[in-house]
Structures are given as structure tokens and as C-alpha cells.
Chains A and B, each alone.
Chain A
Amino acid sequence: MKYLCLIYDDEKKWETMSKAEADAYMGEYFQFTDSIKTSGHYLGGNALQPVQTATTIRSRNGKLSTTDGPFAETKEQLGGYYLIEARDLNDALQVAQKIPSVRTGSIEVRPIQEFN
């Protein structure tokens, strides 16, 4: 079964990190990604650029509106995701709890809806 692990964290924390800290943090992410590639859980994943690069669009009554910023302003922002293959929710949670941001932000684990 496929699960999407959505990574939420406070983006501002990057501004306060030294280069060495940021490198170490990225290093942890690379290591984690390698480990779930080896274990066979990894299907895909990406980091996202900060929310100020986000654009939200909606179409109502045929009229498209385009606005700057994310869908909702929150304290923690969606900063990246992993798509994983897991046996069940417990297996998925085992993977998700090793994502480095679990210690500072939070990870939302969502099963993928399969359509036949």
C-alpha cells in the first residue's frame, strides 16, 4: 500500500541555522533517503521551495483567480514529501518516524487512494 508522508515544519528555522548546521541537517535527509531506498520503501520524494514561491489558483463560475501564497497560512508549512510503499500503517509510521523533521516539525501520513 502507498502512503504519502507530508513534512510540515517552520521554514524560518532555516534562516537561523548556520551553514554547518544546515549541511548536517541536509546530510541527515540524504542518509534517510538512502536508507529507505535500500529497504525498498522509497517510491519518490522532494523538498519544496519556501511558501513565498507558492501560487494558489481556484476557478469559480468559470472565472480563474490567482493569488500569491499557500492555500492556508499556518505556523508550520508543507516543506516536502515522501511517497512510500509500506505493508500497512504501522510499517509506514516506522518509516515516517525516521524523517529528520519529526523532531522539530510534524509528519502527516496519508494513505493513497487507489482507484480500480
Chain B
Amino acid sequence: MEARQAVDAVYRAESRRVLATLIRLLGDFDRAEEALHDAFMAAVERWPRDGVPDNPRAWLVSTGRFKAIDAMRRRARFDAALGELATQIESATSDASAWDEDTVEDDRLRLIFTCCHPALTPDAQVALTLREVCGLTTEEIAHAFLTTPSTVAQRIVRAKAKIRDARIPYQVPARADIPARLDTVLHVVYLVFNEGYSASAGSSLTRHDLSAEAVRLGRLLAELLPEAEVIGLLALMLLHESRRAARTTESGELVLLDEQDRTRWSRKLIAEGCALVERALTGRRFGPYTLQAAIAAVHAEATTPAETDWEQIVGLYDVLLRADPSPVIELNRAAAVAMRDGPAAGLAIVDAILAHGDLDDYHLAHSARADLCRRLGRLADARGSYERALALTKQEPERRFLEKRLRELPIN
């Protein structure tokens, strides 16, 4: 019984590491998954009898490798090329250094960079990362992204086929290529986080498991590749996460930042997030994730909305706009300017952004405009913009929030 529990515990803690190494040794995702499965089957059978090995991970890797080579030899009767390949793998990977600690850590990075290779579609990057790096089942991924398991399975099969057929290498990119390649990885992690934090459609605003997976990924990356933006992204996710309990009511209604009960913010996550922001900012190579985290940190440090240092927030948005010009960031900056200089100053900027036309279909642009008009007493304009926002939003809690704002608007 104890050995069986040990197998389960090792599976939870080590299966992704073992898989990452097996993919390198065997050169193929499917073969490695089969080997991983066979290795754990062997553990279930042998550990209760022979005891748990001193280094369970090394045991699993070497058992999986052996089983895979064995299986290839058996199939070689039908496909001679497999026999040759088995011999190749056997001689190329017999070296014990193949599974020393550093190489194994590198294997996890190899796996992440391969799953997030820019030659794969973004959908496939996300599905493959959640499947291979996080160990989620296709059913879990499908549920989280409101799609069918067969769609997810198909994405994963296609991605693996491209990795194999176009020969996407299983490697950490060269130093010079890391910044560009890391962008894709961080984008995947943040996409997973946001999907969990604010579902883009459907009735559940928070799908916590997905955010927790993204935070786990972020921690893993920060440990393996402590670049400023990696740390910045982890800080950003933790600071968002710190407000989770306060951002919806028990009935699932949305609560805006300035109306949240700040005693329900997680002080522990805020402390960790703020410390990470400081660390990322000293790195000099920080970018948009770190700057967004710094903004979140300023909010987190104010115990009441009135204490918020809007001057500093506007300043950070200015830097962010230079690093990553985008109309959404301009919109957020406008909201901060409205808090610093009053709603009229904010509205002038929002109207200028809407005049460009880029954000005309973005519900938050119209709800921001509505809010500023309301504060200025321009009730008819406010009503029009709330209605426009309502027509554009796809999220149920957002819809209810906007309907409530509309109802509360005084009739003039």
C-alpha cells in the first residue's frame, strides 16, 4: 500500500520531468508518452515487491527508455527501420550523464520551448503546453477552453505531427534567440492565466484551475530561466491572483477595483508579487509584463482607493506605452489620468482613442467612456455608451454589471 502511494506521489511530482527527458532520449512525443506509461506500470508492479528505488526519477527514465527500445525491437519485425532506430537510440543515450540533474532541468525548458514554438499555431501552443508540460488531460483542456475534447485532441495530434515532420528541434534556443522565443512562451502562459482569470465567454467568470496552472508554469519558468520579464509575468499573475476573492461577489457579480473589499486581498500574494516586481525592475531588461506588474503593485499597496498613487501609475503607463504601444494600454492610461486629473481629462483621451476606430468593438472602451460621462453628469452620453458596451460584451457577469449600471443611471 505504501509503495502504491509512493508511485502516486512520484507520478504527481515527477511525471512531467520524466516525460521531458524521455522525449529527448527517444526523439518523439508519442513514443515518450508510451514509455512514461510503461515505466509507471512497471513501478506499480515492482516497487511494492522490491521497495521504492533511491532515485525514483532516474529509475523511471531508465525503465521507460529500456521499455521503448524493447518495444521498437519487437515491432522491427514489421518495420526494419525501427530496429535500426532502436540501436541508434540505445548507443546514443547509454551515457549515464543523460539524466543528471542539470540535463533534466534543461529538458523541462526544452519541452516548454518546443511546445511554444512559433511555427505552431497559438491554439496548438496552448493545448500542447497544458497537455505535455502541465499534464492536463484533453478533457480538462477542452473544458477550460469551452471546446470539445476531439478538437483539443486534433490540435495536439497536428502539432506533434508538425514537430516530427518539419523537424522542430527539442532544444532551448540559442542565447541570441531567447528574447524573441521567450515572448511566445510568456504569451502562452499569460493566455492560460487570463483564460482562467476572466473567461472570454460563458457564465463562469473565473476558472481558477487554469490560473493556478499558469502560476505554476510561471514559477517553473522563473526557476529555470530567471529573466526580468519571466519574473515580471509571475509577479503580474500573483498580484492579479491576490484580488481573486474580492473581485466577484458570492453570487458571481463583478466588483470593480475601487469598490473591492481590500481586506480580502491576499497579503501573502501581494508581498510575494511586490518583491518579484522589485527584483524584475533591477534587471534593466524588463518590459511590458514587469511594467504591468508594477502598476498592479501600486494598486496593491494602497489600503483604500483614495490612497492610490495615481501620479506613479500614470508615469508607469507612459513607460509602458513606449515599450509596447497599444490602444488598450492607452485606454487604461486614460482611466488613470481621469483619476489623477478628473473625468474631463480622461474623457478627452478616451474620445480621441475611439476616434481612431481601433477600439470601436471593444466593450471596455465604451464602458470606460460611459463611466466618465456618468461622473461628469452627461447622462444621455453615459446611457448611449453603456448600451454600446452591453451590445458588445460576451461575458455574462460583465453583462449583468453593465445592466446594473444602466438601471442605476438617474433619469434626466
Contacts and interface: CB of A to CB of B under 8 A. Distances in A.
Interface in B161-207: 165-169, 171, 173
A87 B174 CA distance: 14
Interface hub of A87, A90, A93, A116 (most chain B Cβ within 10 A): A90
Contacts of A90: 168-169, 171, 173
A1 interface: yes
A91 B173 CA distance: 11
A87 B166 contact: no
- Please tell me the size bucket of the interface on B: 10 to 19
A88 B81 contact: no
A88 B168 CA distance: 6
A103 to B, nearest CB: 17
Contacts of A89: 117, 119, 166-169
B167 A1 contact: yes
> Main SS of the interface on chain A?
mixed
Nearest to A87: B169
A111 interface: yes
Interface hub of B167, B169, B171 (most chain A Cβ within 10 A): B167
Interface hub of A1, A89, A116 (most chain B Cβ within 10 A): A89
Contacts of B169: 87-91
Nearest to B81: A116
Nearest to B117: A89
- Please tell me the size bucket of the interface on A: under 10
Contacts of B165: 111
A63 to B, nearest CB: 35
Nearest to B168: A89
A91 B165 CA distance: 15
Contacts of B81: 116
A116 B80 CA distance: 12
Nearest to A88: B169
Contacts of A88: 167-169
Contacts of A93: 119
Contacts of A111: 165-167
A1 to B, nearest CB: 5
A116 B85 CA distance: 14
Interface in A62-116: 87-91, 93, 111, 116
A116 B165 CA distance: 15
A45 B165 CA distance: 22
Contacts of B117: 89
Nearest to B171: A90
A116 B117 CA distance: 28
Nearest to A113: B165
B121 to A, nearest CB: 15
A68 to B, nearest CB: 34
A33 to B, nearest CB: 24
Interface in B69-86: 81
Interface string A24-53: 000000000000000000000000000000
A111 B162 CA distance: 10
A19 B173 CA distance: 40
Interface hub of B81, B119, B173 (most chain A Cβ within 10 A): B119
A111 B105 CA distance: 30
Contacts of B173: 90
A91 B168 CA distance: 9
Contacts of A116: 81
A87 B171 CA distance: 12
A91 B119 CA distance: 13
Contacts of B166: 89, 111
Given A90-B173, A111-B167, 12 more contacts: A87-B169, A88-B168, A89-B117, A89-B119, A89-B166, A89-B167, A89-B169, A90-B168, A90-B169, A90-B171, A111-B165, A111-B166
12 contacts: A1-B167, A88-B168, A88-B169, A89-B119, A89-B168, A90-B168, A90-B173, A91-B169, A93-B119, A111-B165, A111-B167, A116-B81
Closest 3 CB pairs of A and B: A88-B169, A88-B167, A111-B166
